[in-house]
Structure 1
């Protein structure tokens, strides 16, 4: 009987352990945190997670999709995860969380050449058109505050997709940060000199790795522990600095 139990443990336990050590991590085009370059998914949070998985001895694969598809894929895959995502109240119970990852305070930005855009409080932004990504936490945030599609919000496939229209003055406001906006602008040979922040969006905070509820808790904790060690060692900050645009 003991021999049978031992065989069952070796077979089923080994297979369970193998599955629990594999993760499929979904993300979107969100430079500098995640993007594709020369057929490889990279970016600051991608490389942080790549190193984190290696340290935690987890086989992690990466897929880059439009945000809504990435979100749905992480929810439907029992070994799935999603990054870089905000840990909002509505999402809290949907996932297990590891983080925070690289992140910067978000603002609404305007072009300096458009001083007529005046936003002293968030409700003032209803006078203008704001670019948002479909299914993104900022889209959800603005909708809860009474902003409406077509009247106040313009949907795009990714957070950065509206950048050329913004630079042309065809979109009034964009959500970004001091870490992210320079990367978006550099793609169009522009710098932070052409934009200015008009109001902070402090109700939305943090970038995280969100893991499916069926990912083993022990694995989630191991990832968190290794991430904490990466911060203490300076390895985390070193990766972030590699992807900064001056």
Structure 2
């Protein structure tokens, strides 16, 4: 009888551990870091997390969603994390953090034919500036006193910018041109101002507080090992 109980407890403990590690990672379309291609979620951050999971001996389901929905799932579901999330003061206590995974300098873009020049973020206040809902880069620019026109998904901003419905677009230095090229608008936009401290652009995996500390530690250790052995640098080369 004692043997049966011991075996049952061991089985239940092992099952519980598997349940904890069966995480869900939500994300948005933010190329080249996270995106949907060939019926799967790919990108630099995605591959870093897949490698981290492998090294940590864990598994996760990856889901690509509109950003606000992806973020909200990580806020409300105990087994869920979201990426690539900027670690802002407002978000700090809402999540447990893994990373940083990567960074993408906050940048204001104009249409290539535009004559707009900006000496500082204050100069952007007189223009129509586009961003999207829930985006931390947009939040940063808005805090500088720039009024924003928000849309649901970021790709909606590209036709608005090239058609003159907005004058400037808040995007990442790498992600902006990548999105434009993917939408058939390569060369149609140009950067006019990089803003913010580099740490304002760092992106992480943000986990619900219900994710165990040990799980977060294992993932952080794996991410650090990926950075130290040069794997992180190699992962990004095929997305350039």
TM-score (norm 1): 0.88
Question: Which segments of 5 or more consecutive residues in structure 1 lack a partner in the other structure?
Answer: none
| In structure 2, distance between residues paired with 1:78 and 1:190 | 40
Question: Which segments of 5 or more consecutive residues in structure 2 lack a partner in the other structure?
Answer: none
Structure 1 residue 30 corresponds to structure 2 residue 30: yes
Report the equivalent of 1:243: 239
Structure 1 residue 175 corresponds to structure 2 residue 170: yes
Go from structure 1 to structure 2 and tell me whether the alpha carbon gap of 1:178 and 1:54 turns closer, same or farther (over 3 Å shift): same
Structure 1 residues 183-238: Cα deviation after superposition (integer angstroms, max 9, x where no partner): 11212444458413224233722110001111111111111111111112211111
Go from structure 1 to structure 2 and tell me whether the alpha carbon gap of 1:197 and 1:118 turns closer, same or farther (over 3 Å shift): closer
Structure 1 residues 138-182: Cα deviation after superposition (integer angstroms, max 9, x where no partner): 3333444444xxxx3111222333112212222211122332122
Q: Is the 8 A contact 2:122 2:145 kept in 1?
A: no
**1:209-220 equivalences in 2 (<5 Å):** 209-220=205-216
| In structure 2, distance between residues paired with 1:136 and 1:213 | 21
| Deviating more after overlay: 207-216 vs 158-167 | 158-167
| In structure 1, distance between residues paired with 2:150 and 2:135 | 10
TM-score (norm 2): 0.90
1:103 CA drift (Å):
1.7
Go from structure 1 to structure 2 and tell me whether the alpha carbon gap of 1:59 and 1:194 turns closer, same or farther (over 3 Å shift): closer
Report the equivalent of 1:57: 57
Number of corresponding residues: 239
Report the equivalent of 1:119: 118
Report the equivalent of 1:228: 224
Q: Is the 8 A contact 2:118 2:192 kept in 1?
A: no
SS in 2 for 1:162: helix
1:107 CA drift (Å):
1.3
CA RMSD of aligned residues (A): 2.2
1:48 CA drift (Å):
1.4
Structure 1 residues 119-139: Cα deviation after superposition (integer angstroms, max 9, x where no partner): 322222121111111111133
More helix by share: 2
